[in-house]
Structure 1
Amino acid sequence: MGESLRGGVIGAGVFGGYHARQYARLDGAVLSAVFDRHPDRAAAVAMPLGGRAFTDLAEFLDAVDVVTVASPATCHAEHALAALKAGKPVYVEKPIAVSLADAEKVRAAAAARGLALACGHQERVVFRAMGLLDIPEQPLFLEALRHGPPSERSRDVSAVLDLMVHDLDLALAMSSAEPVTAESEGERGAGGVWDVIRSEVTFEDGFTARFDVSRRAPERRRRMKVVYPSGEVEIDFVTREFRNTTPFALNRDFADTPAARDPLGASVQGFLQAVRGEAPRPVVTAEEAIRALDLALAVEQALEDAA
């Protein structure tokens, strides 16, 4: 396989730690460096995995071959652009940026240099393991619920860009139609940030998708129902209950597959394969991530319009 790729992670928070451990364990990669403006945090993530801690971004970039951006969402574009301009392939956690203009800059920088660029909508790995992305019918209706208890994580963005963007991306992956309208209502939390949102998105072919997210729920709940012309699929991702009345063979035991047990690992592995030329693309491309961001921003705008 040749020399191992030196992996670097920008951001030493919870997700930065997850990504650092992936580089440390995956074949063909090592965890080389972690960058964070707080030296103690960088060292706490890097050193147990054999990596070095950096507080200088330029020095960090000199020490790595590939970069994961796991900093706060409002810093994603800045850090991704710095890594790409240094010639490093980039895996950026979702969302790819917090504005379309910045997202396009990131996409263009990667394209201009011929560098692999992946985005961390890794739940597509789970849906692929289930077989849901291979159903040959277009969905008629989707209902997604994603609730979790309060957390200090991702407080720099709304629950749309923190939670709902996952299900927006999945809806876009399941339908070939384009979204045309979004209607939203919600409740703001601390600092005026939207923490509870209900949104309905209509697609050009009549497909309707309803999304319900909360960062103030008493317990974790995550469910999805998809209606097709031939039947319905309903999944409770917490209890693992699965119902399929379509004629299409889906894997009801998807949660036990290696990919579904570690979707982040499969997503990072897909990125590394794209970097080495072993795969034509990562699991989620920049273009797909930008579509999800575009729809998320439309949901946010609908929230502001209704406020």
Structure 2
Amino acid sequence: MTQLKVAIVGVGHLGQHHARIAFESPQADLIAVVDPDEKNGSLIAAKYNTQWVPDWSLIANQVNVLQIAAPTIHHHRLGIEAIKMGKHILMEKPLASNLEESQLLHAAHEQSLTLSPSLVRAVGHLERFNPAVGALRDRKFTPRFLETVRVSPFPMRSTEVDVVLDVMIHDLDLIQALVGRPIRDVEAFGVPVLTKQADLVNARIKFEGGTVAILTASRVAQKKERTLRVFGHQSYAKLNFADQTMELHTLIEGTNGFQIKNENISIKEGEPLKIEIEQFYQACLGLGGEYVSWTEGHEALKVADLVQKAVKKSLSEIEG
């Protein structure tokens, strides 16, 4: 089997899992982990039988895939450099730390494809690869109303961005993929609690055609919850992303009239990050793997920007 030559850029909280999956994958040869922290980088490198380097220029000619899991504030700089190198790229979500940087990245990516159209550029919106989401999409569910809740205790990391880019971005991408229509209107409210940026945000998004989504994201909750409720014609589904479960409630006509059919849908569990990365590898090898494109990642940031602006407006009205 042809193997991709892979380097993981940034091996902190999430990057170390990228390294593990690359090490275990038959589709990849983990050439190096890249991190400015020698202690942690060397530890991860030793664990997965590879080398640590402080700068990817040292191994640029040895790899054809870069998986960037560095802090969001570095995504724009690293992404531009990686594009110039002519590599396949998996950039962790969000694509960039703001819309302007995302636009610059996306434009550079589009230009590079005119010379190398076979290069794969993906964004790590891993909930798309959650088996529970796959079960929902298999049902051909047409959403009319959606509600997402993504809350957790304060993480003590990723505080360089607000909760919209750190947490809600997952659901902003997912609802766009599920609804598949342009967004008409965005309203949002949020407050900073433990940082100088919004740590709790509630947003209402209306799509063309009338579908509405209500999203809540918090990094100052007492417990974790990652759920999606989807309401359609005579049916309702509830997904638990963490447990990878799905409940389906459907109105059916029985012998005694209409009744509600309640089902717990059987789902084959899997690690979303692993599924995402293996699909990315297949795409890089020309085997048709699915991935979230940089165009889709840029679209998610466009909506995130609208939410952030609405939050800023709501705070200015409160502060008077």
Same fold (TM over 0.5): yes
* Shift, 1:301, TM fit: 0.9
Secondary structure of 2:175's match? helix
- The match for 1:198 is 202
Change beyond 3 A, Cα 1:132–1:242: closer
What is the identity, as a one-letter code, of the residue corresponding to 1:82?
E
Match of 2:265 in 1: 252
Q: State which structure, 1 or 2, has the greater radius of gyration over its C-alpha atoms.
A: 2
Q: Give 1:43's aligned residue.
A: 42
Q: 1:88 to 1:202 in 2, by over 3 A?
A: same
| Secondary structure of the structure 2 residue equivalent to 1:261 | coil
Identity across aligned pairs (percent)?
Answer: 28
1:154 CA drift (Å):
1.1
Conserved? CA contact 1:33–1:63, under 8 Å: no
**Which secondary structure state, in structure 2, belongs to the residue aligned with residue 197 of structure 1?**
strand
Are 1:283 and 2:294 matched, yes or no? no
TM-score normalised to the size of structure 1? 0.91
Aligned length: 301
**Structure 1 residue 30: Cα displacement:** 2.0
Q: TM-score, normalised by structure 2?
A: 0.87
- State the match for 1:150 in structure 2: 154
Alignment partner, residue 292 of structure 1: 300
* Match in the other structure for 1:272: 281
Alpha-carbon spacing, 1:43–1:63, altered in 2? closer, same or farther (3 Å): farther
Aligned partner of 1:261 in structure 2 is 270
1:117 aligns with 2:130: no
Aligned partner of 2:18 in structure 1 is: 19
- The aligned runs of 1:1-307 (5 Å cut-off) are 1-2=1-2, 4-107=3-106, 108-109=108-109, 110-112=112-114, 113-114=116-117, 115-126=119-130, 130-136=134-140, 138-238=142-242, 242-246=246-250, 252-254=265-267, 257=268, 260-279=269-288, 282-307=290-315
Aligned partners of 1:267, 1:137: CA distance in 2, in Å?
Answer: 22
* Contact 1:7–1:31 (8 Å) recurs in 2: yes
Change (3 A) 1:76 1:29: same
Q: Which amino acid in structure 2 is aligned with residue 302 of structure 1?
A: A
Asked if the contact 1:139/1:227 (under 8 Å) is kept, the reply is yes
Kindly report structure 1 stretches of 4+ aligned residues shifted beyond 4 Å. Answer: 238-241, 247-251
Alignment gaps of 5+ in structure 2? 252-260, 316-320
Q: 1:92 and 1:251 mapped to 2: Cα distance?
A: 34
2:124, 2:276 within 8 Å by CA — same for their partners in 1?
yes
Q: Distance in 2 between matches of 1:215 and 1:276?
A: 37
Question: Please, which runs of 5 or more residues in structure 1 have no aligned partner?
Answer: none
Instruction: Quote the RMSD (CA, aligned, Å).
Output: 2.2
Structure 2 CA distance for partners of 1:285 and 1:241, relative to 1, 3 Å: closer
Partner amino acid, structure 2, of 1:306: S
Query: Could you tell me which amino acid in structure 1 is paired with residue 280 of structure 2?
Result: F
